[in-house]
Structure 1
Amino acid sequence: MKFGKEFPAQMVQEWQEAYIKYDDLKTLLKDILNYRQVNLLSSAKQASRASFKRNVTLYRAFSGLTSGYNRSRDSTSTEDEVIVVGAVQEGSSEQYQTMVLIALDEGGEPEAAFFRRLDKEFNKVLKFYRAKTGEVVKEAQELNKQMDALIALRVKVDKPLLASMQADFNNRGASLNLSIGRRKTVSHMDDIQEDEVSQEENEEDDEVSQHDEGKTSEQAEADTAGPKMPSLEVLERVKINVEAETPVTTLRRIFASSQSELSFSKEELRKVEEQMKRAFIEFYNKLRLLKSYSFLNQMAFSKILKKYDKITSRNASKPYLEMVENAFSDSSSEVSRLLERVEATFIKHFSNGNRKRGLKILRPHSKKERHVVTFSIGFFFGCSIALLVAVIVLVHARNIMNSDGRQQYMENIFPLYSLFGFIVLHLIMYSANIYFWRHFRVNYSFIFGFKQGTEMGYREVLLVSSGLAVLALAGVISNLDMDMEPRAGSFHTLAELVPLGLIILVLLIAFCPFNIIYRSSRFFLIQCIFRCLCAPWYKVTLPDFFLGDQLTSQVQALRCLEFYVCYYGWGDFKRRSNQCHQSDVFEVIYVIIAVVPYWIRFLQCVRRLVEEKDRMHITNGVKYLSTIIAVVMRTGHDLKWGGGWKIMAAISSAVATMISTYWDIVIDWGLLRKDSRNPWLRDKLLVPYKSVYFIAIVVNGVLRFAWMQSVFGFYEAPFLHKKALTAIVACLEIIRRGIWNFFRLENEHLNNVGKYRAFKSVPLPFSYDDGVGGKHA
């Protein structure tokens, strides 16, 4: 693969604006090439005239072999020197500038433009890299202080005798050096010593002291003079924050401080170690990406300068690349040393010295594509298509659509199986989202906060959806076959229990505790659902409100779940009949079920308003309140509560739809910006075809208004049952949500790119009295 294609593929997508603009520089090189080609003809004419002059010189006097030797040597050295690179101090920052030593008639102007742009890109890259390096150095300082507290806590919890000895020494005023053996140079991120007092620790201290810069001989002797004990005084200056967020802790935070005193329990130590492990992993990944950023940009500079040398037949790459290497050397060595020290610290303190296991945890695992997944997708989709054709043939062959039991089947059995149809369609749309997110390099796994290496790709989601489709369609065929077969009268009860068996099977798989069928993703989904149901008692993250929006598009699926409970709990499923809609309790729950997803989103907006103080969440909350009113009015009209409900449902639905459509397009998608570089879209677009965005805007608006068919009574169709029409409208809403998902995450990704947010914010367990501690990004 050519470097021009490999370079963007290996970028940290959130930092892509900070990389060298390789394609732009290649364009400038093409300009240089075109300039040289245009002037080639004129150069040839000049050469012919010069040849005539050379013929004349054959008849001139001979001037000797050595008279012009020194001058020719000097001119040759001057000609070889194409550029001069130097650093210029501009304010508080250092800028690198290149002087081009080429005459204008030899292509000096386009080549000077190339080096001006090259300098601009290099200064941008270097500034960003040094700023990020400064950030990781500060984070290393913070992690050092956190490790001081962790080691002291380990001693206090696991070695109470050692802790009491130190306290006794302190009370007697013994002048012992109780430092943990941490190096003073933060950039080296020293491996903090373990709590055991052993000769091995003394040897490690000797090694550390040899590398420390700026230590006096007295300090070196103090560091190596005898066994060291970690200082427990640090525990008097820290508070702990390791409680998992629950509704109880949220209430406690409202009425009291969120930080608590140390209790020195083993459970507290375990939670601290888990948080520190996550912080080290995230910090290590940041260092790895910084190192990759440095390497890729230096490689890009090398490639583009070699292209320049090849086009111009000059030798300008060597001095410029030496300058690039020297400018990056200090920061690169800083990052490399930090990587080594983080590895050593993590292996020693979080993997019991097992280097292989420690590096396996630290370094992200690339997800391997498995051929069995691809094969299974094809197999299940083939089975799904075959079963779907079989269902159609069975319905047509037995004239089920015109049978006496059609109405009974549509009222009782169709809602049970339509639940699986809604779920399968949503999964298919989600797999399409993942495919296009990957295609356009949207970092969806980081945005959602998936654990690296466990996120499901589009193939895995398709596998789950196709497998569920096979189960559901097989259930439909078995139900129809047992129901319609004359000799199957004894199996009538079993046929009615098929949908219940399917839903139980799906729930068992979802809550299966064993590490099968994508356990990490299943538990992540269950956790997000639980946090949504407990809103606003949990801090709202993007996966929480993103899932809340998905639930608003699955109202009919939730109503199908309610029907399951009613049909098998209080209905007469043996006779395929129910009186659910004759029950006042069912109708009340029918309304509540439809309102719950929008109410969850409203409560999430309230929580975000309290925490972020952003008034935009007020408007978003009002949007969901208007939708709640519209849903109640529309449901009242569906349940025929009175003639006035139709007018109220029409008005409220129209208002809510217009507000939601505007919010989708302008706020969630960030489109319709009249002053943008792409008129009526936004400045940055991932999809190269602008028409796609305009089509999505129109489709979103049309599908938003599709739900209003229930208000205007488009149910009357001789060939289409009311339940089927409701299912079709629900499917259209799921498709609309799938389209919304792509552009919503695209906008979120671009916001992260604009703010260079490529890492999660990891909470740290200890908060120092001096204000250090709390969060590590």
Structure 2
Amino acid sequence: MKFGKEFESQMVQEWQKAYMDYNGLKTVLKDILRFKQGNASTPESSTARGSLKRRMSLYRAFSGLNNRYRNSPRKNDDEVILVDEVQQDGSELGPYQTTFLKPCEIGGECEPVFFRRLDDEFNKVISFYKGKVEEMIEEANELSKQMDALIALRMKVHNPMMKFDKAALEKLTSNSSTGTKSGSMHMNVIQEVEMSGERHMDDEIQETVETSGVHKRGKVVSIQGFRPASLEVLDHVKLNITPETPVSTLKKILTSDVALSFTKKELRKAEERMIQAFIEFYRKLQLLKRYCFLNLLAFSKIMKKYDKIASRKASKTYMELVENSYLGSSDEVSKLMERVEVTFIERFANGNHRKGLKILRPKTKREKHRITFSLGFFSGCSLAFVAAIVVLVHARGILRSQGRDRYMENIFPLYTLFGFIVLHMLMYSANIFFWRHYRVNYSFIFGFKQGTELGYREVFLLSSGLAVLAFACVISNLDMEMDPGGSIFRVLTELVPLGLLTVVILITICPLNIIYRSSRFFLLRCAFRCLCAPLYKVTLPDFFLADQLTSQVPAIRSLQFYVCYYGWGYFRKNSNNGCRGSDVYQAFYFIVAIIPYWSRLIQCLRRLVEEKDVMHGLNGLKYFSIVVALVMKTGNELKMGMMTWKIMAIVSSAVATIFATYWDLVIDWGLLRRNSINPWLRDKLLVPNRGVYVVAMVMNVLLRLAWMQSVLGLTETPVLHRQALIAIVACLEIIRRGIWNFFRLENEHLNNVGKYRAFKSVPLPFNYDNDEDRDD
């Protein structure tokens, strides 16, 4: 792989504008090469250039110019560039500026342009790197204060009767040094105040940074490291616990901060928060270190290309500057990484080096061959089952049999649930494939734990496996239905779909570490938070999943049919007339369809209250219009023939469709920009072919009009049964949602890129009093 592609693949995508523009500099080098080749093709120009070079060499030899510039920064006659750091008005040194010492040779004006562009990129990289290092140092200082509070809390929890003063600390330390035995209760406290293994590291960091320094407003910022806890720190902190349960959310409304009560539960929560904060901070340092390394390598590569194309020897001079600059000589990030490793291993891994580094450095997920083989096997089996079902239906004339309507009304809705789930998983698998292809950081956006996110192969494997189970049950059900002696097995025949649903539910909630437990539990947590809205703080995975559920209304209604068909015992009679005619069933037919949209409405209202953004209120109004349209459309389905319901369904559905379509294209996708450099699209596009966006917008509009089949009375055709038509319309909505997923996340990714957001914010466990900060 060429370096340009490797360089792009290794970038932190949210920082891509802060990296050196390697491709842009390569374009300038190509201009130099074309100029050189054009001049080389002219004999007169090459002869004149050679004679001019000889005359200049003789002139320098006999004019004494060599002696005049012997003490200048220019080392010899082959020197091509001179790089200086510009002095600003203040005490700080400004950006680097390169002087090209041989103008109008070989490359013409392209070479000075190249070095001006190179200086701009180098100064941009240094400025960004300095800013990020300063942010890391400030965050390290904050983590140091948090560790002080955590260590003090540990000491208090282990020994509640202990008084926090310096005399107690000195007494404990002296007892520890003389070997005095204080009892089992005091041992944990003594271990907390012993910091001998860390003090040496703190001194080393302090000495190193003082010699190198971080220029910030003319001062040197030193890294203090994570120091021993002050015993009075608990008098100035309060516990900061983000609401995690509905009960804690209600308590949050009454009290803004939680006072420390020195319980083990508080300690455990604080430790969990600190572990997450350390892991995320260490990941930031890793990415920043990789940013530094990749840019150093890119500058080296581009200068070697320049030397080769222009036949110069400028790379050594420029790379000496790069290596001596802040980008190449600073080691604050490496020292901070060492500090974090030492502290984390000692404080959170009981000194187990391997365990601590395993938590801090999760291994990259590897693609396994057995996954590829398994998904191929299950996909082949699914196709074979589809062919078998088609042959059975055609050979036995099931479509022309008397039990056709009964099967379509009773059994077919039970199996469509699995069809909807499989199709949604296939669309999600395709989304992941294209997100990875276009380098959308979906793992960071969704907040997946590093190394546990599912790839498109894993999702495809799960969907194909579920499809195999569903098709196998369909074939077994058909065999038992068509068997002449099938009346004996009628109850067993009716229970096949319920058995499949039970297997799927048990796998989903299985606590064993099988079948991607981390992803299953992540899905269950998000689903629970959606159901409990607005008692949880709304995050992107929560409202993204709620949006997916709005496209699975037919699947939710299938679950309702499962409850009625099996719970009320209608499966024994092989009839659902009791369900369809029940007032309770019809009432819940309204309610279950509204639940996903109501959940999104409540989420929007909570975000409106918390973030004070009017756009969330407008988004909530959009979902309210959809709720109204859904009620009217459902009423029209249940009250067939009533013109009033039909008119209300048409009007409300039209308003909701226009509102939702505009929101999809303009807000969620960021398209239809009038003044964009891409006509009616965004300024920044990940897909090179603009026609893809046009086709997606048209398909979004057309697929949103699928509701017309119900309000216009197209509930059944001579070819398709009513249940089959409902399933097809539901599948079209799932396909529309899959298309929406890609462009919604693309827009979110581009927003993160525009704001350089590459990390998630981890709430810290303690809040320090503002009075103390003001006194300091």
Q: How far apart are the structure 2 equivalents of 1:214 and 1:687?
A: 47
Aligned to 1:345: 343
List runs of 5+ in structure 2 lacking aligned partners.
Answer: 175-186, 211-226
What CA distance in whole angstroms lies between the structure 2 residues aligned with 1:203 and 1:727?
A: 66
Q: SS in structure 2 opposite 1:80?
A: coil
**Closer, same or farther in 2 for the Cα pair 1:214/1:115, shift >3 Å?**
closer
Within 5 Å, give how 1:339-738 maps onto structure 2: 339-578=337-576, 579-640=578-639, 642-738=642-738
Q: Post-superposition shift, 1:156?
A: 1.2
Rounded to whole Å, the distance in 2 between the matches of 1:667 and 1:198 is: 52
Counterparts in 2 of 1:492 and 1:271: CA distance versus 1, 3 Å = same
Confirm or deny: 8 A CA contact 1:280 1:346 kept in the other structure: yes
What SS does the corresponding residue of 2:325 show, helix, strand or coil? Answer: helix
What is the TM-score with the length of structure 1 in the denominator?
0.90
3-state SS in 1 of match to 2:98: strand
Which digits, 9 at most, give the CA deviation of each residue in 1:508-527, with x for residues without a partner? 00000000000000000000
Is residue 377–residue 462 contact of structure 1 (8 Å, CA) maintained in 2?
Answer: yes
SS of the residue aligned with 1:686? coil
Q: Distance in 2 between matches of 1:207 and 1:139?
A: 18
CA RMSD of aligned residues (A): 2.9
Which segment drifts farther, 100-109 or 382-391? 100-109
C-alpha deviation, 1:319, in angstroms? 1.8
- CA displacement at 1:153 relative to structure 2: 1.1
For 2:97, what is the secondary structure of its paired residue? strand
Say which SS state the counterpart of residue 436 (structure 1) adopts: helix
1:686 CA displacement: 0.5
Separation (CA, whole Å) in 2 of partners of 1:575 and 1:67 = 111
Is it true that 1:130 corresponds to 2:130 in the alignment?
yes
Q: Contact between 1:239 and 1:260, CA under 8 Å: does it hold in 2?
A: yes
Letter in 2 for 1:410: M
Structure-2 separation of matches of 1:499 and 1:204: 62
User: Displacement of 1:332 after TM fit?
Assistant: 3.5
Q: 1:759 and 2:753 equivalent?
A: no
Structure 1 letter corresponding to 2:365? K
> CA 1:580–1:746 in 2, change beyond 3 Å: closer, same or farther?
same
- The Cα shift of 1:281 comes to 0.3
Structure 1 Cα separation of the partners of residues 643 and 304 of structure 2: 79
**Conserved 8 A contact 1:549-1:601:** yes
1:71-220 matched pairs, under 5 angstroms:
78-90=76-88, 94-160=94-160, 163-164=162-163, 167=165, 169=167, 195-196=189-190, 201-202=195-196, 205=199, 208-209=202-203, 212-213=206-207
Q: Retained in 2: the 8 A contact 1:367–1:453?
A: yes
Native 8 Å contact 2:382 2:468 kept in 1: yes
Q: Structure 1 residue 9: deviation in Å?
A: 0.3
Match of 1:114, as an amino acid?
F
Alpha-carbon spacing, 1:140–1:199, altered in 2? closer, same or farther (3 Å): closer
Contact 2:633–2:646 at 8 Å: present in 1 too? yes
**Contact 1:291–1:332 under 8 Å retained in 2:** no
Contact kept? 2:149, 2:766, Cα under 8 Å: yes
**Cα offsets for 1:532-557 (capped at 9, x unmatched):** 00011110000000001101100000
Cα shift at 1:575: 2.4
Shift of 1:40: 1.7
Query: 2:244 corresponds to which residue?
Result: 245
CA distance in 2, matches of 1:485, 1:81: 93
Counterpart residue number, 2:183: none
Take 2:589 and 2:197, find their aligned partners in 1: how far apart are those partners?
Answer: 72
% same residue: 62
Letter in 2 for 1:631: L
Decide whether aligned partners of structure 1 residues 750 and 263 sit closer, same or farther in structure 2, where only a CA change above 3 A counts.
Answer: same
Q: Equivalents in 2 of 1:52, 1:734: separation in Å?
A: 73
- Cα gap change, 1:398/1:772 in structure 2, threshold over 3 Å: closer, same or farther? farther
Equivalent position of 1:745 in the other structure: 745
Deviates further, 94-103 or 477-486: 94-103
The CA distance in 2 between the partners of 1:285 and 1:652, in whole Å, is: 49
Q: CA deviation at 1:196?
A: 2.1
- Give the whole-Å Cα distance in 2 for the aligned partners of 1:626 and 1:199: 61
1:297-323 deviation line (CA, Å, top 9, x unaligned): 111011001100111111111221122
Instruction: Note if contact 1:670-1:747 (Cα within 8 Å) is conserved in structure 2.
Output: yes
Matches within 5 A, 1:254-403: 254-257=253-256, 259-329=257-327, 332-403=330-401
2:579 and 2:585 in contact (8 A); partners too: yes
TM-score, normalised by the number of residues in structure 2: 0.90
- Structure 2 residue identity aligned to 1:240: L
| CA distance in 1 between partners of 2:266 and 2:312 (Å) | 66
**What secondary structure sits across from 2:190 in the alignment?**
coil
Shift in CA distance, 656/96, structure 1 to aligned 2, threshold 3 Å: same
SS of equivalent residue, structure 1 residue 520: helix
What is the Cα deviation at residue 489 of structure 1?
2.4
Looking at structure 2, the residues matched to 738 and 618 of structure 1 have their Cα atoms a distance apart, in angstroms, of 25
Deviates more, 1:148-157 or 1:70-79: 70-79
* Residues 133, 331 of structure 1: 8 Å contact kept: no
Following TM superposition, by how much is the alpha carbon of 1:618 offset from its aligned partner in structure 2, in angstroms? Answer: 1.3
Are 1:294 and 1:328, in contact at CA under 8 Å, matched by a contact in 2? no
Pick which of 732-741 and 715-724 moved more.
715-724
Unaligned residue ranges in structure 1 (runs of 5+): 58-63, 179-192, 217-227
Name the CA shift for 1:711/1:41 in 2 (closer, same or farther; >3 Å): same
CA contact (8 A) 1:437 1:742 kept: yes
Distance 1:52 1:36, change over 3 A: closer
- The alpha-carbon distance between structure 1 residues 640 and 212, as it changes in their structure 2 partners (threshold 3 A), is closer
1:158 and 1:50 map into 2 onto residues whose CA distance is 85
Question: Structure 1 residues 198, 650: CA separation in 2 closer, same or farther (over 3 Å shift)?
Answer: closer
Aligned length, in residue pairs = 735
Cα distance in 1, alignment partners of residues 590 and 277 from structure 2: 45
Alpha-carbon spacing, 1:195–1:314, altered in 2? closer, same or farther (3 Å): farther
Instruction: Provide the C-alpha distance between the structure 2 equivalents of 1:101 and 1:52, rounded to a whole number of angstroms.
Output: 16
Deviation sequence 1:582-601 (CA, Å, 0-9, x none): 11111010011111111111
Q: What secondary structure is seen at the aligned counterpart in 1 of 2:77?
A: helix
| 1:213-236 CA distance string (max 9 Å, x none) | 4999xxxxxxxxxxx985320010
SS in 1 for 2:109: helix
CA distance in 2, matches of 1:435, 1:215: 44
- Alignment-mate amino acid for residue 629 of structure 1: V
1:243 Cα deviation after fit: 5.8
Contact 2:424/2:734 (<8 A) preserved: yes
Q: Any conservation in 1 of the 2:173–2:194 contact (CA below 8 Å)?
A: no
Q: Which moved more, 1:676-685 or 1:81-90?
A: 81-90
Shift in Å at residue 253 of structure 1? 1.7
How far has the Cα of 1:177 moved from its partner? 10
**Per-residue deviation, 1:109:** 1.3
Alpha-carbon distance in structure 2 between the residues aligned to 1:372 and 1:410: 38
**C-alpha deviations, 1:275-330, integer Å up to 9, x for none?**
10100000000000000000001110110011001111111112211222222357
**Could you list the per-position Cα deviations for residues 464-499 of structure 1 after superposition, in whole angstroms to 9, with x for gaps in the alignment?**
100100111111110110111112321111010000
- TM-superposed CA distance for 1:254, in Å, is 1.8
Give me the whole-angstrom Cα distance separating, in 2, the residues matched to 1:67 and 1:424: 82
Mapped partners of 1:130, 1:215: distance in 2:
14
The 3 A distance-change label for structure 1 pair 282 and 540 is same
